[in-house]
Structure 1
Amino acid sequence: MFDHLLVLDIVGGAVRRVDLDGALSTVVGDTGPAPDGIVHDPTTDRIFWTLMGPPSGRDFSARSGGLRSARTDGSDVTTVLPDGAITTGKQLAIADGHLYWSDREGGRITRARLDGSDVTDLVVRPRDPGTGAVDIHDQCVGIAVDTVSRHLYWTQKGPAKGDAGRIFRAGLDLSEGQTAENRTDIETLWSDLPEPIDLWLDDASSTLFWTDRGAPPFGNTLNSAPVPAVGESGVEPTVLAKEFAEAIGLAVDAHAGVAYVTALDGTVRAVPIRPDAPPERVVAAVSGSAFTGIVGVAS
């Protein structure tokens, strides 16, 4: 079960600790520009986070994202991948001694070892041959990794409030003869979603959870659905909670039966995912902050 939460404050450029009773403190005071995805590695007791980098005009299309790490007490902040190694670092996952992340404007899914070595693209979406840009429908945001079935899941949110979001699945490893640009095993599991953002996979129940920041009634929600069998599409998702102010980050404590969701209004909300779990509540609300990634740290 989670002992406390660590959330990224994109306005303050900080990692905040949120205790389950709502107490708040700062763990890292300078994350770098626009932090978005965060994970905890219990074997080293370190946290890792992605950076979107500073915006270039009205977007994050400039290649200025990176990846950093620190101890859970905020000490020993190190650069795993330098700024400019990623275009726009989004959700981050950890599995089998590797970091996996979505690169939104980069249109790709990438992994590397915890020390930043062996950087490998797993999925690369097409670019416009004229501009070199990735179409907004192909920008990758959320990510989840299943090391048992060896599958990778990710979201492509599409335009803001556009009802063109999708969730995909592919093998966790490139098979012989395949490249990240020309994979033949990509499945579209859900389409025409409002604007799916972060993903969470519960292996025990074979359930996918995701946040959505699209337009109501199905946007700005927390959703769940069973993982479909290979070759099948996903069933209609269940809306577990709604009326978030731009839902982003997601951490699921399956043992407690609670999902924690962050939003850009600086809130962290606890949502029951089982009938026996405590009722929905606001864990923290921090005026002037905007929370993106979240991770639970177990006791």
Structure 2
Amino acid sequence: MTTDSAAAQSVGSPRLYALELVPGGVHRINPHDGTVTDIALGIPEVPDGIVVDETEGYAYFTLMGAPDTPLQPNVEPPFTHRNGSVQRVPLAGGVPQIVVPRGTFTTGKQLTTDPATGRLYWCDREGRGVYRAERDGSGLTALILTAGQGPTRAEEECVGITVDTAHGWLYWTQKGPSDGGKGRILRARLELPDGTSPGDRDDIETLWEGLPEPIDLELDPSGQVLYWTDRGAGPLGNTLNRAPVPPPGRRGDTPTIVASEFHEAIGLAIDHARGNAYVSDLSGAVYEITLADGSKRLVTKFPGPVTGLALVL
């Protein structure tokens, strides 16, 4: 893999961070020319979601844990053992450090943060839940637990997450079975309502349903437009989508497909100021998409599948 130096990038230029699934790795990408710096390699527990704090000097990432069967190219193994974790690695490179211990949850998926408090939020796919913790791993809290609430287990699996701390909302995806057309995007308050538990909340709204297989989420800075990737079958899947966030008590309008023809789209990061999105997929490709017209540019391609993305401006 080609390497570059963070110092070689001009001050104020965006830095894109990506997780490689197999072999597991954390990488920094110069989105202008596609050169890559390897931050951590040989991670055996399948990284998925990432957030980056360059001031603090760390990348935080979720891990799905050790799969039930050996990892093989182009095959997604089952993850049923409770051995997921949150870890961090210095951006200068080094050995990953445990933040939320292995076994606290099952399979860590998309990770997001509240920069004002440093809190981390993530989804647990096979564990069927949404969690929060402080950046040092303390204060672990289950916010959503969906087990037993759906018609099938696959329809209970939580994957993508974004938070609107200014307005107090939590958004997440439940992808449904592969290419099943039963994916949903849901919303609830960031804090548990009084007298409820994570498994019996009375404030959950379904905003969209019948989606191919929605994965990662991101909100625009105003909290008024939601973007998501979908890894399901085309023509509605393998897409980058957006739609206005509906007011409380309303369903979402039909989403707009911004770009399509990905190979199982997963990671998502948006440069709202420049009008660009970055999408990764399981072919190992990382694309830049112009939001105005949906045009795509290949930024770089990894030898293994790419999951989570994070953008630092």
Matched letter for residue 62 of structure 2? T
Distance 1:202 1:75 in 2: 33
The residue number in structure 2 matching 1:44 is 56
Aligned residue number for residue 245 of structure 2: 227
Residue 217 of structure 1 aligns to a residue whose secondary structure is coil
Task: Give 1:204 shift.
Answer: 2.5
Query: What is the CA deviation profile of residues 11-54 of structure 1, one whole-angstrom value per residue up to 9, with x for unaligned ones?
Result: 11111221111112211113341000000124423210000012
Corresponding residue for residue 127 of structure 1: 148
Counterpart position of 2:34: 22
Equivalences, count: 290
Distance 1:263 1:200, change over 3 A: same
1:69 lines up with 2:84 in the alignment: no
* Amino acid of the structure 2 residue aligned with 1:280: K
Supply the RMSD in Å over aligned alpha carbons: 1.6
Quick one: which of 272, 282, 292 aligns to 2:298? 282
Query: Which letter maps to 2:64?
Result: M
Mapping 1:208-223, distance limit 5 Å? 208-223=226-241
1:64 Cα offset (Å): 1.2
Structure 1 equivalent of residue 225 of structure 2? 207
- Which moves more between the two structures, 112-121 or 66-75? 66-75
- Tell me, yes or no, if structure 1 residue 294 matches structure 2 residue 293: no
Q: Look up the equivalent residue of 2:204 and give its one-letter code.
A: I
Provide the residue aligned with 1:163 in structure 2: 181
Q: d(CA) in 1 for partners of 2:223 and 2:248?
A: 16
SS at match of 2:43: coil
1: CA distance, partners of 2:223 / 2:202: 28
Residue 87 of structure 1 is aligned with which of 78, 83, 106? 106
Verify: 1:140 aligned to 2:158, yes or no.
yes
For residue 129 of structure 2, what is the aligned residue in structure 1? 108
AA aligned to 1:91 is: Q
Q: CA deviation at 1:225?
A: 0.4
Shift of 1:76: 5.8
SS at match of 2:79: coil
Partners of 2:158 and 2:18 lie apart in 1 by 21
Moved more, 25-34 or 14-23: 25-34
Among 224, 245, 250, the alignment partner of 2:268 is 250
Query: 1:245, 1:48 → 2: CA distance?
Result: 26
Instruction: Note the residue ranges of structure 2 that are not aligned, 5 or more in a row.
Output: 1-11, 70-76
Aligned-residue offset at 1:74: 2.0
Partners of 2:214 and 2:229 within 8 A in 1: yes
Q: Does the CA contact (< 8 Å) of 1:2 and 1:296 recur in 2?
A: no
Counterpart of 2:193 in structure 1 is 175
Letter aligned with residue 255 of structure 2: P
Report the Cα offset of residue 55 of structure 1.
Answer: 1.3
Change (3 A) 1:180 1:112: same
Amino acid aligned to 1:140: C
Percentage of pairs with the same residue: 45
CA distance in 1 between counterparts of 2:276 and 2:44 reads 30
Output the CA distance in 2 between the equivalents of 1:233 and 1:123. Answer: 20
Describe the SS at the equivalent of 1:29: strand
Measure, in 1, the Cα distance between the counterparts of 2:92 and 2:274: 24
| 2:116 is the counterpart of 1:98 | no
TM-score in terms of structure 2 length: 0.89
- 1:99-154 superposed Cα distances (whole Å, 9 cap, x missing partner): 000000000000000000010000001239xxxxx811000000000001100000
Please say which of residues 32-41 and 241-250 is displaced more in the overlay: 32-41
After superposition, residues 174-193 of structure 1 pair within 5 angstroms as: 174-193=192-211
DSSP-derived class of the 1:137 partner: helix
CA distance in structure 1 between the partners assigned to 2:16 and 2:43 by the alignment: 17
Question: Over residues 234-265 of structure 1, what are the superposed CA-to-partner deviations in whole Å (9 max), with x where a residue is unaligned?
Answer: 00000011010010000011011100000010
After TM superposition, the structure 1 stretch with the greater mean CA deviation from structure 2, 180-189 or 51-60, is: 51-60
In the alignment, is the contact (CA less than 8 A) between 1:103 and 1:141 conserved in 2?
A: yes
* Residues 152-185 of structure 1: CA deviation (Å, up to 9, x unaligned): 0000000000000000000000121111111000
Distance 1:127 1:204 in 2: 34
CA contact (8 A) 2:160 2:172 kept: yes
Q: Which residue of 2 aligns with 1:131?
A: none
Helix, strand or coil: the match of 2:110? strand
1:199 and 1:3 mapped to 2: Cα distance? 20
